[in-house]
Amino acid sequence: MMKNVLSFQKMKMKNKKIVMLTAYDYPSAKYAEIANVDVLLVGDTLGMVVLGYENTLQVTLDDIIYHTKAVRRGAKNTFIIADMPFGSYHISDEETRKNAIRLITETGANAVKLEGGSENRLATIKTIRSISDCEIPVVAHLGLTPQSINSIGGYKIQGKKDAQYQQILQQAIDVEKAGAFMLVLEAIPEKLGKEISENISIPTVGIGAGKYTDGQVLVYHDILGMSDFQPKFVKKYANLEELISNKIGEYCDDVKSEKFPQKENIYYPIED
């Protein structure tokens, strides 16, 4: 049965860890559902691991819609969160709501996620409230917020110094009050991940936030060894890049040496 916002709340209360994984297309979603992942995130990391951009900033709403539709086809029974890409919730309240509604109605996603860094904190709180008022479940994202790389000066661990530590703790309390039902915490000290998780009642899902968050999220291509980006917080469970390129190499060799196709791969006319 598909989980819902109440299931995640219950999992937190019962100390059952939430497993979130990103997915971007039909096969990745299908494999994740077979593996019983609790929740799929169609993240804007799409830009880096699937579309080959340097960062997430060029991903468009239409990109997320296109990929979320494929993810829904691959995982019909899994709760799906669609990321709101850079620019899709920054212009006006009306446009933000319209974009959040498109993500839900056009894709079959169950919730949206948006990043709220320190620079745009007040705007983010208003935005979470406004989207929640449309009955759309919202996941907040604090700590390192990759859509802010130009204003924060790169991919830096957040909350190491006390002032920023306290600021992120306060933001977590604020996003819960604004109506977020889940909070992604990225690249922060474990102590802060723990303190936030103990001080808010919505589930926290960490990526580089230590082991005390209510769940963990990682990027599909990172855990399977299909991306160039391997930060400390990633555990690589396979090296598919090597496996896939070796196997494609075998296919190339077979064609060139005429080992492929073989009899079993060839059609023949029916003999009377």
- Kindly state the tokens that stand for 162: 């006390």
- Kindly state the tokens that stand for 92: 């006006």
Q: Where does this chain bind ligand KIV (CB under 6 A)?
A: 22, 41, 43-45, 83, 141, 184, 186, 207, 217, 219
Q: Phi first, then psi: what are they for 257, rounded to 5°?
A: -95, 5
Residues 175 and 140 sit within 8 Å (Cβ to Cβ): yes
Output 186 or 214, the one with its CB closest to ligand KIV: 186
| List of E strands, 38-124 | 39-42, 79-83, 111-115
Within 8 A by CB and 6+ apart from 20, the residues are: 37, 38, 39, 40, 41, 81, 205, 215, 216, 217
Nearest to 56 by CA among 145, 178, 152: 145
User: Which residues, listed in sequence order, are joined to residue 182 by a DSSP beta bridge?
Assistant: 139
Instruction: Write down the least CB distance from residue 169 to ligand KIV, Å.
Output: 19
Instruction: Write down the least CB distance from residue 49 to ligand KIV, Å.
Output: 8
> Distances in Å between the alpha carbon of 41 and those of 37, 38, 249, 272?
11, 10, 32, 56
Residues 183 and 203 sit within 8 Å (Cβ to Cβ): yes
Please say if 241 is a catalytic residue: no
Asked whether the bond before 231 is cis by omega within 30 degrees of 0, the reply is: no
Instruction: Write down the least CB distance from residue 220 to ligand KIV, Å.
Output: 9
Nearest to 158 by CA among 103, 116, 218: 116
Instruction: Write down the least CB distance from residue 212 to ligand KIV, Å.
Output: 17
Output 63 or 176, the one with its CB closest to ligand KIV: 63
Instruction: Write down the least CB distance from residue 186 to ligand KIV, Å.
Output: 6
For residues 2, 143, 210, 51, the Cα torsion angle rounded to the nearest 10 degrees is 60
- Kindly state the tokens that stand for 26: 């039909």
Output 14 or 70, the one with its CB closest to ligand KIV: 70
Output 56 or 130, the one with its CB closest to ligand KIV: 56
C-beta nearest to ligand KIV: residue:
43
Catalytic entry in 95, 186, 198, 271: 186
Output 150 or 250, the one with its CB closest to ligand KIV: 150
Output 104 or 184, the one with its CB closest to ligand KIV: 184
Instruction: Write down the least CB distance from residue 83 to ligand KIV, Å.
Output: 5
The residues carrying an active-site annotation are 186
